[in-house]
Chain A
Amino acid sequence: DAGVIQSPRHEVTEMGQEVTLRCKPISGHNSLFWYRQTMMRGLELLIYFNNNVPIDDSGMPEDRFSAKMPNASFSTLKIQPSEPRDSAVYFCASSLGLYGNEQYFGPGTRLTVT
């Protein structure tokens, strides 16, 4: 079975440009989570969805960040405009969306903003 799919795997962009990260969750999973990982701050939960509805976006750092889930098989995380401090690895994870269930992580997108 295919796991969580993320694209692109690597993204290098210049400051001020728009960046869109994409995620396809595991089929049948109804919760989707976006994380950011840096050396300084570790693993941070940015936002998560259940049944395509955003449940908690309190981890989104600024208004420059936005996320959407138009259907059960696709989500995007957008940064506009991007800044060098946004450089990080961004992970998407999905789960069956019940208390006690494990999350399955994608391979991540390594974003570098110059």
Chain B
Amino acid sequence: AQSVTQLGSHVSVSEGALVLLRCNYSSSVPPYLFWYVQYPNQGLQLLLKYTSAATLVKGINGFEAEFKKSETSFHLTKPSAHMRDAAEYFCAVSDPTDSWGKLQFGAGTQVVVTP
């Protein structure tokens, strides 16, 4: 079965420091992978998406993620954290057993940015 594991339910970073959020997936076929962000009291918003066109994917708000097949990972990074990056981040993978767009979401990582 498809699954997504996010390491660390909470991450605290200083403003200006590197943000690194970890995501590992299991898939029997080449996956489609996503990162979503959820700001307080809002719905989930797509940050970026991997579709096999390029292993390094750039998203909105300065985030990027690198697909590493050998490590079955899709970690999210941002070189310099800003206070507005405080949110919950979800990694997701397309379910290969489903033809209608079902996604499997990770448990989420809460990011706190300190001044």
Interface size class of B (residues with CB under 8 A): 20 to 34
What bracket does the count of chain A residues touching chain B fall in?
A: 20 to 34
- Identify whether the interface residues of B are mostly helix, strand, loop, or mixed: loop
Contacts of A91 in B (CB 8 A): 43-44
Docked complex: A68-105 residues within 8 A CB-CB of B: 91, 93, 95-105
The answer to whether B101 and A97 touch across the interface, beta carbons within 8 angstroms, is yes
Q: Assess whether A99 is in contact with B94, with CB atoms less than 8 Å apart.
A: yes
Give the distance in Å from the alpha carbon of A45 to the alpha carbon of B98 in the complex: 14
Chain B residues with Cβ below 8 Å from A103 are 44, 101, 103
Across the interface, do A98 and B46 meet the contact criterion of CB distance under 8 Å?
A: no
Assuming the contacts A42-B108, A43-B90, A43-B108, asked whether A101 and B101 have C-beta atoms less than 8 A apart, the reply is yes
B102→A98 contact, CB < 8 A? no
- The answer to whether A106 and B43 touch (CB under 8 A), given A31-B100, A31-B101, A100-B32, is yes
The smallest beta-carbon distance between A2 and chain B, in angstroms, is 14
**A residues apposed to B, CB below 8 Å:** 4, 31, 33, 42-43, 45, 48, 50, 55-56, 91, 93, 95-108
**Could you give 6 example pairs across A and B, Cβ below 8 Å?**
A43-B44, A98-B101, A99-B100, A100-B94, A103-B103, A106-B43
